[in-house]
């Protein structure tokens, strides 16, 4: 019974083209954005990677690699326990101090993963404030939704970026009930940004805490790469900043940063923090080394924006329209049909040496499959042109060159 049901569900995914397959991809230090993929017969071939979240190529930085290697040689490769039992080491304490300073907050808390930081922190708020009402943007990440769903009062969802709808929900609830507004600054599937000043104004008007996921913005926007809230001049008005070290920082791990009393409460009440093994010292050291470089390196941020602008232009002149929602470095190219999306990705990989992972349901709604393309400072002008030419040819061959008519 159990096997039959599971296999039927898997067959459903395969029929509609949304069954996920993993490409064995090896990234080699010093060669990014080039990587090798495992092909038929076990042979590895070179490809260009165009969908990595290693936005600034920091995973390849010699100083970051050396920090991890040296710390592992000194302390070993594991943390040895949870934060409460033997796992609070010097390197994670230094990392948390670095993050707090970076975001101009009183305190920060590091987690082994970005998903875990959202899930654990948002669950903790519901334990700290049993009557809490949580207001969530309709496109919030799965890690946020996972934590919010543990709230006994459920999740009040406002239409994506519709502040009138958010205010309607806020105004309908008891003013004395504790409230939390949870949202992202950059939405990674559509490439758009939140109206943060408007959200903060509503939060103050209705006495709500604000929880901002800056995962796809830190390192890339604002002074020292502090994110969209800093760029908008409202970082000090956001109660909790959540972020990751797995994207622009190029390593692994997540964090929250905010006032001491609130971060301490999350530390004390979040099961996902208390009962998991701590981040290893070598990982924490690599994260801190990378953050220090990212904070100081405006050139990498500028180059990323330059490559992104070039790619926008090259796709535009070929009639390949990026979804108009995108105003950031995230460039979603609409395809629609999941099967076409997978076929196009396979053709790019097999015939053009380009790796782009198709984004299919349930990650995005049915009928909105797409490529999510990210240029980085490591991509060359020639590689940008090669990508645009390759997409143009593949889309024409598959009859999806008119994607601009379907762009959302």
Cα 88 to Cα 133: distance, rounded to the nearest angstrom: 32
Residue 137 pairs with which residues in a beta bridge? Answer: 158
Cα 132 to Cα 140: distance, rounded to the nearest angstrom: 18
Place of tokens 């799965």: 142
The strand pair at 369-373 and 208-213 is best described as: unpaired
168 is catalytic: no
Contact 359/344 with Cβ under 8 angstroms? Answer: no
Helix axes 90-102, 281-296, angle to 10 degrees: 20
Contact 231/199 with Cβ under 8 angstroms? Answer: no
**Extended beta strands in 54-119, E state:** 107-111
Cα 244 to Cα 400: distance, rounded to the nearest angstrom: 35
Of the candidates 168, 247, 404, 405, the residue annotated as catalytic is 247
Neighbours of 301 (CB within 10 A): 21
Cα 251 to Cα 86: distance, rounded to the nearest angstrom: 23
Q: Largest alpha-carbon pair distance within the chain?
A: 65
* CA 263, 265, 267, 270 torsion-angle sign: negative
Which of 401, 112, 42 shows the shortest CA–CA distance to 252?
Answer: 112
Cα 131 to Cα 66: distance, rounded to the nearest angstrom: 47
Place of tokens 């707090």: 100
**Extended beta strands in 337-404, E state:** 354-355, 358-359, 369-373
Instruction: Please enumerate in sequence order all residues whose Cβ is within 8 A of that of 280, keeping only pairs 6 or more positions apart, or say none.
Output: 72, 77, 78, 79
Contact 157/293 with Cβ under 8 angstroms? Answer: no
Enzyme catalytic residues: 247
């Amino acid at each position: 019974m159990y096997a039959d049901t599971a296999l039927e569900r898997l067959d459903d995914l395969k029929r509609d083209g949304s069954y996920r397959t993993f490409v064995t991809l090896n990234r080699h230090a010093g060669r990014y954005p080039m990587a090798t993929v495992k092909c038929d017969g076990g042979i590895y071939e070179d490809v260009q990677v165009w969908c990595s979240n290693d936005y600034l190529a920091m995973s390849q930085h010699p100083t970051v690699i050396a920090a991890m290697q040296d710390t592992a040689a000194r302390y070993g490769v594991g943390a040895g326990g949870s934060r409460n039992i033997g796992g609070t080491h010097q390197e994670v304490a230094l990392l948390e101090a670095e993050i707090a300073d970076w975001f101009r907050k009183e305190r920060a808390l590091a987690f082994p993963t970005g998903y875990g930081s959202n899930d654990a922190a948002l669950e903790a708020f519901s334990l700290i404030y049993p009557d809490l009402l949580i207001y969530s943007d309709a496109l919030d990440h799965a890690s946020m939704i996972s934590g919010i769903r543990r709230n006994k009062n459920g999740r009040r969802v406002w239409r994506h970026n519709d502040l009138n709808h958010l205010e309607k929900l806020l105004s309908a609830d008891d003013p004395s009930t504790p409230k939390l507004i949870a949202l992202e600054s950059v939405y990674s599937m559509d490439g758009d940004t939140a109206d943060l000043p408007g959200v903060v104004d509503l939060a103050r008007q209705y006495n709500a805490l604000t929880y901002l996921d800056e995962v796809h913005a830190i390192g890339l926007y604002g002074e020292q790469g502090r994110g969209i809230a800093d760029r908008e001049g409202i970082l000090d008005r956001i109660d909790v900043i959540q972020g990751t070290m797995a994207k622009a920082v190029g390593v692994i791990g997540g964090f929250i940063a905010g006032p001491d009393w609130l971060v301490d409460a999350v530390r004390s009440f979040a099961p996902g923090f208390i009962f998991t093994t701590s981040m290893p010292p070598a990982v924490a050291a690599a994260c801190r080394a990378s953050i220090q470089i990212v904070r100081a390196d405006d050139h990498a941020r500028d180059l990323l924006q330059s490559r992104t602008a070039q790619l926008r232009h090259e796709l535009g002149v070929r009639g390949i329209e990026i979804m108009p929602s995108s105003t950031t470095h995230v460039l979603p190219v609409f395809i629609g049909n999941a099967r076409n999306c997978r076929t196009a990705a396979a053709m790019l990989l097999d015939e053009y040496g380009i790796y782009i992972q198709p984004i299919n349901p349930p990650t995005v709604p049915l009928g909105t499959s797409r490529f999510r393309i990210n240029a980085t400072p490591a991509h060359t002008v020639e590689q940008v042109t090669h990508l645009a030419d390759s997409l143009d040819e593949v889309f024409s061959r598959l009859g999806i060159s008119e994607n601009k008519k379907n762009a959302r």
